[in-house]
Amino acid sequence: MTKKVPLRSEIDPKYKWNAESVFASPEAWDAEVQAILAAVPEAKKFQGKLTEAAVLVEAFKTVEDLTARAMRVFVYANFSSAVDTTDQQAAAMVGKAQGMFGQVAAAAAFMEPELIALGEETLRQWVADEPRLAIYGHYVDDLFRQQAHVRSAEVEEVLGMLTDAGRGPYTTATMLTNADFKFPAARDEQGNEVEITQGSLGGILAGADRAARKTAWETYMDQHLAFKNTLASNLATAVKMDVFRSRVRRHGSALEASLFGSNIPVEVYHNLLEVFKKNFPVWQRYFAIRRKALGVDKLYPYDMWAPLTKSEVGISYEDAVELICAGLAPMGEEYVATVRRGCLEERWVDVYPNQGKREGAFSSGAPGTYPFIMMSFNDNVFSLSTLAHELGHSLHSHLTRKHQPLVYARYSLFAAEVASNFHQAMVRDYLLKNKTEADFQIAVIEEAMANFYRYFFIMPTLARFELEAHTRVEKGQPLTADSMIALTSDLFSEAYGDQVEVDRERVGITFATFQHMFMNFYVYAYSTGISGANALSRRILDGKPGAVEDYLEFLKAGSSLYALEALKRAGVDLTTPAPVEAAFAVMESYVDRLEKLLA
């Protein structure tokens, strides 16, 4: 009997995101798109006229208002498509929003080159003399830090116009894997069919039925392998675009260009990879413990999320919200009330799997919207953890937008993954202290290790892949499907050691199953994020005076400070390997605890 994933229309509205809080209808959304396009000339009229402080004030206001409106339009379209990629109206809305956003970006592209042409001394004087420009002090600092990499107005306009086209490879891969892929059913140990979708795969892999896990994983990877050339070509094109942009902006490498925007030294990236490689033995010890606990002769990638006890811990969405709130209690009543209200009253979360729902989970919003969450809740500890993770992003966004003007209302990807993993660390600590049943303890540690496996094993492995792929393009070497599969397989094999059986083709196509790979050196930030998160949560859990206030100031800072500086003020220095090494020590303590519980 096939286990069916419900249609979107079959999901209870209370578990769907609050779309109507953004736009009353798609027609209202379309009217705003037309209004934004009509307002684009209002931004361009300032081109060549930034000659005095008062004019600059008006230019900033016009461009920022237009950008905020465009962001709301894009969030509505993108979220509508993500929760149901088969919705053709929503897909068309995404394309329309991308085109509109490209026009807005192009219209505003003149500003930075003109501001640089005015000179640092003049701008600083305007900031000092004009109260309405006072908030732009850090912006001016950052602008002239980046001066060598900002090109002429004409070049910047072209780069702005490339925004829409540059997303093409990502959009194609997303539509192919989420809308067009139809996975053959898996089969459980009784021979029953188990339906596979992007939203249901995680639940299957976290299940006790090994036959279902095996056939689901193989089917999922085989579907990607069947389109390996298209998927590889898409990613190769995105890598080439990264290299192209880095060269246009005169950076030494695509890695340097990507980190430069957030003022992150490349040593942070390399430190992470070196510490990761040094800790292969810790991972291999965990794999050996997992293989023994599962009672299997050989451990495969599809065994990494399998439960280690026969007693499954079930958790409803509502109970998960309450456990998360309990874990976050040290953050204060206001913080916890915001979380609870967002989850249970304001419908921040699109909760359950449905046919056509995009794989994975994410938090997304804009000024004037809730910080929405898309996920596929599967009534277990893993889903509880995913919800906590995405709520970390959402509270970060909520507090940043509440306390910062638009110019600083976004934060870097580097900072983003600290907030999300912080929530998981806090909730995990609460559960281990308060849920003392052995099976629950094991389930929590399993979730912790699954989280570390994703962010401290898969992501740094993909970060190694990403660095090598960009380096090959920079050297003029080709990226083919077979070479990318071989590279991915080699990197995973090295890290697994002799503890995990590697099916080279299926493991090798892993790069195509993560849409994060289109985000230009993003995946490493999960690993640095989990390192910073554990350090900051430890300060709070140890009762360090001012630790909660320090952390809240980090969340409120947005991009008014560079991420590394904001984190240093909060209490962690990620320019050194120490936080990464400390996070591996935390992980090793979970391995020790798990070994004792299983014994």
Query: How many CB atoms neighbour CB 295 within 10 A?
Result: 7
Question: Which tokens in the block code for residue 344?
Answer: 């249970």
Q: What pairing do the DSSP bridges indicate for beta strands 349-350 and 372-374? A: parallel
**Cβ atoms within 10 Å of 55's Cβ, excluding its own:** 12
**Residue 393: Cβ-neighbour burial (10 angstroms; 0-12, 13-18, 19+):** buried
CA proximity to 331, closest of 566, 541, 565, 559: 541
The alpha carbon of 118 is separated from its chain's Cα centroid by a whole number of angstroms, namely 37
Run of H or E including 445: helix 438-453
What's the rounded Cα separation, in Å, for the pair 94 and 74? 7
| Angle, alpha carbons 571-387-572 (nearest 5°) | 10
Mark 362-387 as b/e (b = at least 16 C-beta within 10 Å). Answer: ebbbbbebbbbbbbbbbbbbbbbbbb
Residue in 156, 390, 466, 474 annotated catalytic: 390
Secondary element (H or E) of residue 55: helix 53-82
Where b means 16+ CB within 10 Å and e means fewer, 560-595 reads bbbbbebbeebbbebeebebbeebbebbbebbebbb
Exposure letters 196-211 (e unless 16+ CB within 10 A, then b): bbbbbbbbbbbbebbe
At 79, the amino acid letter reads: F
Distance between CA atoms of residues 377 and 307, nearest Å: 17
Question: Which DSSP string corresponds to 110-137?
Answer: THHHHHHHH-HHHHHHHHHH-GGGGGGH
Reduced to 3 states (helix: H, G, I; strand: E, B; else coil), residue 571 is coil
Alpha-carbon distance of 554 to 82, in angstroms, equals 30
- Indicate the SS3 state at residue 258: helix
Active site residue 312: no
Helix (H) or strand (E) holding 471: helix 459-474
Residues 6+ away with beta carbon under 8 Å from 347: 14, 16, 17, 18, 21, 370
Question: Which spans in 183-316 are helix H?
Answer: 201-205, 210-226, 228-248, 254-260, 266-278, 280-294
Which residues does the annotation mark as catalytic? 390
